[in-house]
Amino acid sequence: MTSDELRSIIAAGLACDHLEVEGDGRHWQAVIVSPEFQGKRLIQRHQRVYATLGERMHTDEVHALSMKTYTPAEWAAQPN
């Protein structure tokens, strides 16, 4: 899997205002900004992203995904 493919999968299942994905094909890092995260705890945000990946997480197609998840307001408050 490529970073573009993983980015497309996440974007297809989750409304994202900003999405960055980097990795080596098995181990990934993502920055995800979504209005769907509003009012959700960190674990709920991660579960929402994992839900977009579905079986890919269970079949080891995506071995590991490290995430930073933000609402649009949290992202806007991040230092540049």
Q: What is the pLDDT of residue 26?
A: 84
What is the domain extent for residue 61? 3-76
Q: What is the pLDDT along the chain (80 residues), one digit of tens a residue?
A: 899 999 999 999 999 999 999 999 888 999 999 999 999 999 999 999 999 998 888 887 888 899 999 999 999 999 87
How many domains in the chain? 1
Any idea what the CATH number is for the domain that residue 23 is in? 3.30.300.90
CA distance 42 to 46: 6
What's the DSSP call for residue 41?
Answer: -
Q: What is the pLDDT of residue 10?
A: 96
> How many residues in total does the chain contain?
80
